[in-house]
Structure 1
Amino acid sequence: MRLFAAVLPPQVVIDELAAETADLRRLPGAERLRWTGHAGWHFTLAFYGEVADGLLPELHARLARAAHRHRPFPLRISGGGRFDHKVLWAGAAGGLEPMRHLADAAGAAARRAGVDMDEHRPYTPHLTLARARGGEARLDLVPFVDALAAYGSAEWTVSDLALVRSNLPASGVPGEQPRYETVATWPLGR
């Protein structure tokens, strides 16, 4: 099972961001991007990759403990950025320090449960909006990042840690999106 730990924004915030991305999709070059589906918008805390079924009970137990040790925190989607010329993302504001701690705990929980994790990278809270299409010439994402600079969603309280399954496209149809399925959630601080 391909899994990751995440913070899931509430639907009202997703709807606000959808309106913002509708404007972004009118910018020159937007047709050269593969835009992510609203149903998949999330803040990844820790990516686990393929996790053997036998490790799931221990992973669940450790994620539950990690969630219990962290208090709810405020968050909003704010601004944006890019990774090279390949990925356009929306950023976060508010409880960034508690979010980083939760991300660290989600990674540590998986390692202790026996999940083979890639190298540890500094955590950059982001919600992926679009990716450059494969084979496309380099696209300047700066105008998109500039358009997001003043964006800020409504604030919400992050009260759960989610374990999400990523189902990769299997049809081979160009542009097909992964499907995300929430496997489990644990309340923070309880």
Structure 2
Amino acid sequence: MPDRPDSRPVSAIRAFVAANLDSDLKAALARVQDRLKATRADVGWVRPENLHLTLKFLGQVEEGRLGAIGEAVAAAATGCGQIRLVFEGLGAFPHPRAARVVWIGLSHGAEALTELQAKVEAGLESLGFAREGRPFTAHLTLGRVRSPARREQLARALTGAPAEALGEMVLDRIELMKSDLSVAGARYSILQSFPLG
């Protein structure tokens, strides 16, 4: 049976809203990853160029919806000023001895970032995107543990890390991002950028 004219495939992209990091901070966090890599634990480390704070994962989105999504994110960004982010404190979910996700926390800016994320969440909920089931926790994923190999060494490195600032930046914009997945890993590109304030 021939295709009807209105049955063309809909173009969709894998999208998310993120707070991207500046190059100096990415370099500082890459050095933190290098220290943890010395444990030789079986971790898939996030490539430094891909380090970011996810504010909202959207999944597969029809390209025709990007305009409305952009307007909602822009409205959330307009109501928020610039945020000073200070990264400090290493950890793992659910905890270091059973690590599945290795992260770095925020010692400054977490509350403001959580407020911004709530505004993004509310704006996108009005477009039909379901709210996250878990509360937002301001953290940056450094890597995902692939197997238990040398997990004990990783746990010692995480719990024995000195309490010190590991990098900081002033967040002045958030972005709607596109994620392209391949065997070489994810590649992210910016679709739209929204200044804060």
Q: TM-score range by the shorter chain?
A: 0.7 to 0.9
Give matches, 1:125-164, under 5 Å.
125-133=138-146, 136-137=147-148, 139-140=151-152, 141-164=154-177
Q: What is the CA RMSD across the aligned residues, in angstroms?
A: 1.8
Question: Structure 1 vs Structure 2: percent identity of aligned residues?
Answer: 29
| TM-score, with length taken from structure 2 | 0.83
Query: Following superposition of structure 1 onto structure 2, how do residues 117-128 of structure 1 map, counting pairs within 5 Å?
Result: 117=130, 119-128=132-141
Structure with higher strand content:
2
Deviation at 1:69, TM superposition (A): 0.5
Match of 1:105 among 116, 119, 128: 119
Structure 1: tracts of 5 or more residues without a match: none
TM-score, with structure 1 as normaliser: 0.86
Q: Shift in Å at residue 48 of structure 1? A: 1.2
Maintained 8 Å contact 2:84/2:109 = yes
> Where in structure 2 are there 5+ consecutive unaligned residues?
1-12
The structure with the largest alpha-carbon Rg is 2
Number of equivalent positions: 179
Contact kept in structure 1, 2:88 and 2:167, CA below 8 Å:
no
Write the letter of the residue equivalent to 1:107: E
* Pairing of 1:1-190 with structure 2 (within 5 A): 1-27=13-39, 29-30=40-41, 32-84=42-94, 85-115=99-129, 117=130, 119-133=132-146, 136-137=147-148, 139-140=151-152, 141-169=154-182, 171=183, 176-189=184-197
Contact 1:33 1:130 in 2 (8 A): yes
Q: What is the rounded CA distance, in whole Å, between the counterparts of 1:76 and 1:52 in structure 2?
A: 35
Deviation at 1:80, TM superposition (A): 1.8
